[in-house]
Structure 1
Amino acid sequence: MKKPRLNWAVEPWEDSELLECTQIVPETADTWTFTFRSPTGAWFDYEPGQFITLDLPVDPAKGPAGNIQRTYTMSSSPSRPMSISVTAKAGPNSVATRWMMANLKPGMKIRAYGPAGIFSLNRHPAKKYLFISAGSGITPMLSMSTWLWDSGIKPDVVFIHAARRPSDVICHDRLEHMASRSSGLQLHLTVEENDEFRSWNGYRGRLNQLMLGLMAPDYLEREVFCCGPEPFMQAVREMLISLGYDMDHYHQESFGAAVETEAQAPVLDDVVPDEDAGAELLFASSGVSARCAETDTVLAVAKRAGLNIPSGCTFGLCGTCKVRKLSGEVHMVHNGGISDDDIAEGYILACCSNPMGKVEIDI
């Protein structure tokens, strides 16, 4: 008996054709995955990590004027080209994603445009990768990890993801499955809070330099891809810069404006202490002043000046060297040894604070 032949088109999908929603899967309380196929059977061709733009009829009564367009990174991989998936998180002020959760059903057709975007490992091939994500920033990492996993070649990826709670880790089971079947995919999760009545054996707290060193000891050798809220990505950049990472091998995807071309990519204007730039520290209570470089720490300058600031770990964890800054600016990259409230009140950790210009310390 001859088997029936599936009528799949051989040409790639083009955005002149509406997409049909085929499946909806809740991932967390506020994050769902929506899967689409081409009604003609066309295959999807894109780079892992790219995004697609959905045209959503949020207010059908207004016709086309009631539509809004939103970009979503595909959480699926082009290695599985018969469908595409977007994994969308509904924030407090979300309109499009909440409309999808309330109205989009299997069988409905949606206009889509794309794919587009420059955030893809295909554009930066390397032997070793480091994926760092937070929240829904996990979606392009899912796509790229699946692409590598499906390649049939053992990858070398350290995948770090930060979430508020264990129950907020998007596609947790999918990640665990891939990691359990490939020793080349090392998965590390860190959360800030526990779930009630649920144990957690992973990392706790905000991602910091110590965690990074434990999770990926060879981070200096890896191509880094980062995606998440802007404060998270800024903290990651500051960590890497302070650790001497070559930022030419750092790539990020913003939650804000979708970047379609290299020319649209924002310029990252991070503070980088310059060893050739001069600074000055005035220790007010001691009446001592000392000139130094921006790359010097407040603790090191104080010791050279004969002053004693109690210290312990010397990498921003224990909080022993907390002092009050009276004026001026410092660049501080700590590992959890000081609270946001203390920082707001003017306190710094001397061991990991670099003076930027003239700074006055209450010592």
Structure 2
Amino acid sequence: MSLLKAAGSAGPAIWDDSEMLECVAVIPEAPNVATFCFQAPSGALFDYLPGQFLTLELPVSGGPLYRTYTISSSPSRPTSISVTVKAQEGSLGTRWMLDHLQPGMRIKALGPAGVFSHHVHPSDKYLFISAGSGITPMMSMVTYMFDQGSEPDAVLINCATRPSEIIFRDRLEHMASRVPGLDLKFVVETNDRFKVWTGFQGRFNQLMLGLMAPDYLEREVFCCGPEPFMQAVREALAELGFDMNRYHQESFQAPAATEQEVPELDDVVPDETESAEIYFLHSDVRAKCTETDTVLNAARSAGLNIPSGCTFGVCGTCKVRKTAGEVHMVHSGGISEDDIEDGYILACCSHPIGKIEVEV
């Protein structure tokens, strides 16, 4: 799909990957994060869909290294193209870029490609959910919406470790201040030492989602970030009854170039037509239920009492130990990873898959 041609442009040539890209600017964004801006030496314009990616050929020691990065710029600004990269522990390509790639250098690039774009999945209302550098395709799509001049209906949620690590924060806040239809939300895990944070804090969860985007069931959802984060988002949406056909994600590891390459999600989702059984070990009681029943509700139906509080997976009051079987648990921070490793679950938000056994 060509945005420039669709707009009726018959001006300068359109860049293709037979021409190298020239780095024209390096912009620091956050610790170990920078935006690299490129132009075509020939003066050609860039035509792509917001949310697509480039594959860069990086001349690292020992031979070229190919790394794929989402384009963070917007095709509404076609004289340049940018990628924003974050170096993780042990990264080679991104580390080389941060240490060596400077204005004036030229590199080979392949693309653009990809189907993670609101142009591929059009809707009247959008919800963008990202973590860390997963903000990059969202930045491209939101900038495109901003540049169109009409007011979008989009909620953008970005999660980061701390406020200083929120990528594009100033630019996003500027756009949101100018366009009321762009609703911006940030979530951080911890404060910065010398700067007060008054927004959402903790692990992104269902309760936050309901507060940030109460009409999430009506929105087309785009998600990008580390796989554990995206899995948590998928589970939260599925648990809340969201139509997962309207959920789209882009992986850090394997972005899809075509619709056929988009992997099918194989998450475990409780099925109301599938039967389950819970053995309450200390009470010597067996309860039959379905996979969509919670352990807490099954216990109550069997005449057993599990202490509980919020029933949303926040308070941790209903924590019990599972000694056998598998559950599908979507909690909101009320249990630690160490407890989960030790076999504990929250009864209020755990669904039995098949037969399980708990110490109740």
- Give the TM-score taking structure 2 as reference length: 0.96
Cα distance in 1 for partners of 2:91, 2:287 equals 52
Partner SS, residue 123 of structure 1? coil
Deviations 1:314-335 (A, max 9, x none): 1111111111112111111011
Structure 1 counterpart of 2:34, from 15, 18, 32: 32
Deviations 1:197-225 (A, max 9, x none): 11111110010000000000000000000
Cα distance in 2 for partners of 1:287, 1:53 equals 59
Question: Does residue 266 of structure 2 align to residue 269 of structure 1?
Answer: yes
Deviations 1:92-113 (A, max 9, x none): 1111111111111111111111
Question: Does residue 189 of structure 2 align to residue 192 of structure 1?
Answer: yes
Match of 1:359 in 2: 356
Cα distance in 2 for partners of 1:124, 1:183 equals 22
Match of 2:76 in 1: 79
Match of 1:127 in 2: 124
Question: Does residue 302 of structure 2 align to residue 300 of structure 1?
Answer: no
- Equivalent residues in 2 for 1:11-50, closer than 5 Å: 11-50=13-52
Letter in structure 1 aligned against 2:83: V
- Equivalent residues in 2 for 1:1-363, closer than 5 Å: 10-59=12-61, 66-363=63-360
Letter in structure 2 aligned against 1:84: I
Residues 9 and 40, structure 1, Cα contact 8 Å, conserved in 2:
no
Match of 1:3 in 2: none
- Give the TM-score taking structure 1 as reference length: 0.95
Q: Which runs of 4+ in 1 moved over 3 A?
A: none
Unaligned runs of 5+ in 1: 1-7
Cα distance in 2 for partners of 1:342, 1:112 equals 46
Cα distance in 1 for partners of 2:287, 2:83 equals 56
Cα distance in 2 for partners of 1:264, 1:30 equals 31
Structure 1 residue 258, shift from structure 2 partner = 2.6
Partner SS, residue 74 of structure 2? coil
Partner SS, residue 232 of structure 2? helix
Residues 331 and 354, structure 1, Cα contact 8 Å, conserved in 2:
yes
Structure 1 residue 9, shift from structure 2 partner = 6.3
Identity of aligned residues (%): 65
Cα distance in 1 for partners of 2:308, 2:66 equals 53
Cα distance in 2 for partners of 1:350, 1:103 equals 52
Match of 1:5 in 2: none
Match of 1:4 in 2: none
Residues 332 and 348, structure 1, Cα contact 8 Å, conserved in 2:
yes
Letter in structure 2 aligned against 1:328: G
My pick for the range that moved more, 219-228 or 112-121, is 112-121
Cα distance in 2 for partners of 1:360, 1:97 equals 47
Residues 9 and 41, structure 1, Cα contact 8 Å, conserved in 2:
no
Partner SS, residue 122 of structure 1? coil
Deviations 1:302-361 (A, max 9, x none): 111111111111111111111111211111101111111111111111111111111111
Partner SS, residue 342 of structure 1? helix
Residues 9 and 43, structure 1, Cα contact 8 Å, conserved in 2:
no
Letter in structure 2 aligned against 1:16: S
State the aligned residue count: 351
Residues 155 and 185, structure 1, Cα contact 8 Å, conserved in 2:
yes
